[in-house]
Amino acid sequence: MKTIPEQITERYLERTPKSQALTERARHVLPGGDTRTGVYYAPYPAFMVQGSGAYLTDLDGNQYLDFLNNYTSLVHGHAHPALLNAAREQLPNGTAFASPMVKQIELAELLCERVPSVEHVRFCNSGTEATMLAVRATRAFTGRSGILKMRGAYHGSHDLAAATDDPDADRGIPDGLRQNIFFASFNDLNAVEKILAEHANEIAGILIEPVPNAGGIPLPRENYLAGLRALADKFNVLLIFDEVVTLRLNEGGYQKIANVMPDLTAMGKIIGGGFAVGAFGGNRDIMANFNPAQKNPIPHSGTFNGHSATMAAGIASLENLPQAEIDRINALGDVLAAGFDDAFSEAGIVGKTTHVGSLVQVHWRDGEIANMEDVAQGFRAAGDLPYLLHLELLNRGIYSAARGEYNISTVVNDAEVDHAITTVNETLHKLKPYIAEKYPALIAK
């Protein structure tokens, strides 16, 4: 008799033979068969050929209810008519010019109106670029090089963002870079204060995602973000919020929810309407360093910065995301998280979610999840269970991140959220005998 993991894998292989064949072709020209680490999962990812509304269709014709939405960027789901029409109207006029464009101003005005701390903004092409340039602005403004960031946080793929405090894990990152990076655990104000007290003359700023999405959504404790703001002021360093993901949680981003104003904000994902985008902005005196008319400006170019279709679709994305719609999908996120929690409880399996608004993360552990170390501890204890849950959900038509991340788009309805909860419940029951055998500590007492 086949084991449960064997049954799940065999079913996946049966459903996706065309994706398997195309993976073999892809591996001849792409390392591993793709160009994006975060979308890989074993035995191979399904190739998607169409997205419409809340659903994806793969090469073999399987349909999936999408709770990944290109890692939160497609807040309006796939092929939203308003966003497509905005891009279509712009494209006949040209795509990218070596000149300013009206749509850049219009999207910049929207961002400055919505995000409380943003007085001036610059566009780039990814969240990676946005955090990289915000860090550069911070260093230029302060005249210092050090950056304090949270252990286990994700801020993109540039060297500073990808660097950890484990040199063995940082292949390709120069050793010399590490002397300008300082690490603290998320939610640990005392550690931040100690580092700043010892290295204030070296540190330019604090880089933090106010709610670390890729870090597993540990929630900031009461007064944590306000405490960071106070420490930044006390030690004369800048505070950078990475709101590439969390901008979706409120018209003004998480900073408006927390009522904590950073000096600089990195943005991306939802502001591009489904196209590649990044932006960074904040205090006009800091952003003035990018003014090319001034003496010795920070150089910031990019062939596709402010791409016309991106700007047009981004405007449509924000115009179709008023606070009332944000509140609605945040409420659906509450329902999804509560339903997943109930599913673990009803199945008698140790597990829970952390969530904020429309962002939800599944954990295979109980107790407080205060930081990314707590998140990692849960994943280590769970072994192959996150992988098996993800693969079986794919077999049942639910699309999410392999690490257990879910998010809600504006095109998802109550019934679809209920369907996802039911499917997770059924999948946990399927996995329970395997869990009891291999991970008995995860069977609830």
Active site (catalytic) residues: 154, 242, 269
CA distance 422 to 106: 43
Amino acid at 76: H
Q: Among 259, 280, 278, which residue's Cα sits nearest to residue 269?
A: 278
- Which letter, b or e, does each residue of 106-141 get, where b requires 16 or more Cβ atoms within 10 Å of its Cβ? ebbebbbebbbbbebbbbbbbbbbbbbbbbbbbbbb
- Which letter, b or e, does each residue of 375-394 get, where b requires 16 or more Cβ atoms within 10 Å of its Cβ? beebbeebeebbbbbbbbbb
Q: What are phi and psi of 105, to 5 degrees?
A: -65, -45
CA distance 189 to 224: 7
Cβ contact 216:203 at 8 Å: no
CA angle centred on 408, ends 331 and 323, rounded to 5°? 55
Q: What are phi and psi of 10, to 5 degrees?
A: -60, -40
Q: Among 279, 283, 278, 280, which residue's Cα sits nearest to residue 232?
A: 283
Cis bond leading into 17, ω under 30°?
no
